[in-house]
Chain A
Amino acid sequence: MTKMNKTLLYTVNFLLLMIFSACSGADYGSKTADSSRPFDRTIQPAEGSLLNLALPVIQNFSLSNGLEVKLVEHHELPVVDIRLVIKSGSFVDPAGKAGTASFTADMLDEGTTTRDAFEIADAKDYVGARLGSGSGWDGSFVTLSTLKKHLDTSMEIFADISLNPTFPTKDMEKIRERRLTRILQRKDQPITLAALAFAELVYGDSHPYGTPTTGTEESIKSITQSDLKNYYSTYYKSNNATLIVVGDVTESEMLPILEKYFGSWESGMIPETMNYDIPEISETAFYLVDKPDAAQSYLYFGHNSISRASENYINSVVMNMILGGQFSARLNLNLREDKGYTYGARSSFSARRSGGSFSARASVKTDVTDSSIVEFLYELRRIRSEHVTLEELEHAKKSIVQRLPSTFETPSQIAGIIGSQLLNDLPDDYYSTYGEKIQAVTMQDVMVTAQKLIDPEHMTLVISGDIAQVKEAIESLNEGNVNIVGEETMPE
Chain B
Amino acid sequence: MNKKLNATLLFVLISLSTVAVGQISVENEMYKLDNGLTVILHNDSSAPIVTVNIWYHTGSKDEKPGRTGFAHLFEHMLFQGSLNVGDDEHFILIQGVGGSLNGSTNSDRTNYYETTPSNYLEMLLWLESDRMGWLLPAMTEKKLDNQRDVVKNERRQSYENRPYGLAWENIYFKLYPEEHPYHWSTIGSMEDLSAASLDDIKDFFQSYYGPNNASLVIAGDFDSGQAKVWVEKYFGEIPSGPEVVHPNPDMPVLTEEVRFMMEDKVQLPRIYFVWNSVSRFDEDEAALDVLGEVLSSGKNSRFYRAMIYDNPIAQDAAAFQFSREIAGSFEMEITATPETNLSVIEKVVWEEVEKIQNELPTEREMRRAINSIEASFVFGIQSIGRKADRLNSYYTWTGVPDGFEKDLSRFSNVTAEDVQRVANKYLDKNNLIILSVVPEGKPELQASK
Q: Which residues of A contact B (CB under 8 A)?
A: 17, 24, 26, 28-29, 31, 37-39, 41-42, 44-53, 76-79, 117-118, 120-122, 125-130, 145-147, 149-150, 174, 177-178, 181-182, 184-185, 187-190, 291, 293-296, 326-328, 333, 336-343, 363-365, 395, 398-406, 408-412
User: Does the CB pair A189–B163 fall under 8 Å?
Assistant: yes
Closest 9 CB pairs of A and B: A402-B98, A128-B375, A340-B149, A48-B119, A403-B98, A188-B163, A121-B299, A45-B122, A125-B368
Contact present for B47 and A48 (CB under 8 Å): no
Please give the distance in Å from A309's CB to the nearest CB on chain B: 25
Question: Once the chains bind, are B19 and A79 in contact (CB under 8 Å)?
Answer: no
The answer for the CA separation of A146 and B372 in the assembled complex, in Å, is: 11
Contacts of A129 in B (CB 8 A): 375
In chain B, positions 195-224 with a C-beta closer than 8 Å to chain A are 221
Stretch at the interface among B8-16, B35-43, B52-60: B8-16
- Contact A406/B315 with A28-B86, A128-B371, A149-B13 known, Cβ cut-off 8 Å: no
Task: Tell me, rounded to whole Å, the shortest Cβ–Cβ distance linking B12 to chain A.
Answer: 11
Expressed in whole angstroms, the minimum distance between the Cβ of A390 and any Cβ of chain B is: 13
Q: Is B153 touching A121 in the complex (CB atoms < 8 A)?
A: no
Q: Contacts of A189 on B, CB cut-off 8 Å?
A: 163
User: Within the complex, what minimum Cβ distance (angstroms) separates B358 from chain A?
Assistant: 23
Nearest CB to that of B309 among chain A residues? Answer: A174
Given known pairs A122-B364, A174-B309, A185-B268, the reply for A364 and B371 (CB within 8 Å) is no
B44: chain A residues within 8 A (beta carbon): 76
Contact between B118 and A48 (Cβ–Cβ < 8 Å)?
A: yes
**Minimum Cβ distance to chain A for residue B384 (Å):** 7
A338-B146 in contact given A53-B48, A79-B382, A402-B98 (Cβ < 8 Å): yes
Residues of A within 8 A of B309 (CB): 174
| Distance A410 CA – B379 CA, assembled complex (angstroms) | 10
Provide 15 A-B residue pairs closer than 8 Å at the C-beta atoms, listed in order of the A residue.
Answer: A28-B92, A39-B233, A42-B84, A45-B125, A48-B119, A77-B9, A128-B21, A181-B315, A294-B161, A333-B88, A337-B150, A338-B146, A398-B98, A405-B47, A406-B98
Interface assignment of B430: CB less than 8 Å from any CB of chain A: no
Docked complex Cα distance between A333 and B88 (Å): 8
Q: Is the CB of A404 within 8 A of B9?
A: no
Instruction: Tell me whether A326 and B95 are in contact (CB under 8 A).
Output: yes
Residue count of chain B within 8 Å CB distance of chain A? 87
Docked pose: A442 CA to B287 CA in angstroms: 59
Residue B239 CB within 8 A of the other chain: no
CA A31 to CA B156, docked complex, whole Å: 38
- The 0/1 profile, CB within 8 Å of A marked 1, for residues 1-39 of chain B is 000000011010100000101000000000000000000
Check if A409 sits within 8 Å of B117, measured CB to CB.
no
| CA A401 to CA B95, docked complex, whole Å | 11
Q: Point out which of B84, B160, B376 has the most chain A C-beta atoms below 10 A from its C-beta.
A: B84
Task: Give the CA-CA distance A291 to B265 in the complex, in Å.
Answer: 9
A96→B41 CA distance, assembly (Å): 57
**Contact B379–A409 (Cβ < 8 Å):** no
Known: A28-B86, A150-B19. A49 touches B119 (CB 8 A): yes
Cross-chain contact A78 with B383 (CB below 8 angstroms)? no
- 0/1 interface trace, chain B 342-372, chain A, CB 8 Å (1 if under): 0000000000000000000000100110011
A41 touches B84 (CB 8 A): yes
| Shortest distance between the CB of A42 and any CB in chain B (Å) | 5
Indicate whether B381 reaches chain A with its CB closer than 8 angstroms. yes
B252 interface contact, C-beta 8 A: no
- B48 near A147 with CB under 8 A, answer no
What residues of B have a CB within 8 angstroms of the CB of A178 in the complex?
308, 312, 315
* Distance between Cα atoms of A409 and B385 in the complex (Å): 10
Taking CB atoms, residues of chain A closer than 8 Å to B46 are 76, 409
Query: Contact: A121 with B119, CB < 8 Å?
Result: no
A412 to chain B: which residues have CB within 8 Å? Answer: 382
Cβ A50 vs Cβ B299 within 8 A: no
The answer to whether B19 touches A402, judged by C-beta atoms less than 8 angstroms apart, is no
Judge if B49 is at the interface, Cβ distance under 8 Å. yes
B107 proximal to A (CB < 8 A) = no
Given contacts A42-B84, A178-B315, A395-B95, 5 further A-B contacts (CB under 8 A): A76-B44, A118-B299, A184-B338, A402-B117, A403-B99
The reply to whether the CB of B337 lies closer than 8 angstroms to some CB of chain A is yes
Q: Separation in Å of the A224 CB from the closest CB of chain B?
A: 20
A190's nearest neighbour on chain B, judged by CB, is B161
Q: A126-B368, A406-B100 are in contact. Are A411 and B119 (CB under 8 A)?
A: no
Distance to closest chain B CB from A165 (angstroms): 15
A145 to B221, CA, bound (A): 25
Q: Which of B8, B48, B151 contacts A76 (CB 8 A)?
A: B8
Once the chains are docked, how many angstroms separate the CA of A121 from the CA of B368? Answer: 10
Given A328-B95, A409-B383, answer yes or no on A52-B48 (Cβ-Cβ < 8 Å): yes
Q: How far is the CB of A230 from chain B (nearest CB, A)?
A: 26
> Is B120's beta carbon under 8 Å from chain A?
yes
On chain B, the residues within 8 Å of A44 by CB distance are 93, 123, 126
Asked whether A409 lies within 8 Å of B384 as measured between CB atoms, the reply is yes
Docked Cα-Cα span, A295 to B162, in Å, equals: 10
Q: Are B48 and A405 in contact (CB under 8 A)?
A: yes
Provide the residues of chain A in CB contact with B368, threshold 8 Å: 122, 125-126
- B428 CB-CB contact with A under 8 Å: no
Task: Look across to chain B and name the residue whose beta carbon is closest to the beta carbon of A110.
Answer: B299
Q: Which of B11, B134, B156 contacts A295 (CB 8 A)?
A: B156
Please determine whether A121 and B11 come into contact, CB atoms closer than 8 angstroms.
no
**B312 contacts which chain A residues (CB < 8 A)?**
174, 177-178
Q: Is the CB of B153 within 8 A of A406?
A: no
A402 and B116 contacting across the interface, CB-CB below 8 Å:
yes
Evaluate contact between A117 and B371: CB separation under 8 angstroms.
no
Is residue B130 within 8 Å, beta carbon to beta carbon, of the partner chain? yes
Output the least CB separation between B3 and chain A (Å): 12
B145 beta carbon closer than 8 Å to chain A? yes
Complex CA distance for A79 and B378, rounded to whole angstroms? 8
Q: Whole-angstrom distance between the alpha carbons of A46 and B97 in the complex?
A: 12
Taking a contact as CB atoms under 8 Å apart, the answer to whether A125 and B371 are in contact is yes
Q: Assuming the A-B contacts A28-B92, A363-B153, are A399 and B98 also in contact, with contact meaning beta carbons closer than 8 angstroms in the complex?
A: yes
In angstroms, Cα B141 to Cα A130, docked, is 49
Within the complex, which residue of A184, A363, A411 is in contact with B267, where a contact is CB–CB below 8 Å?
A184
B108 CB within 8 Å of chain A: no
B420 in contact (CB, < 8 A): no
* Proximity string of chain B (396-411) to chain A, C-beta cutoff 8 Å, 1 when within and 0 when not: 0000000000000000
**Which residues of chain B have C-beta atoms less than 8 A from A340's C-beta?**
145-150, 153
- A406 with B47: in contact, given A150-B19, A326-B95, A363-B157 (CB under 8 Å)? yes
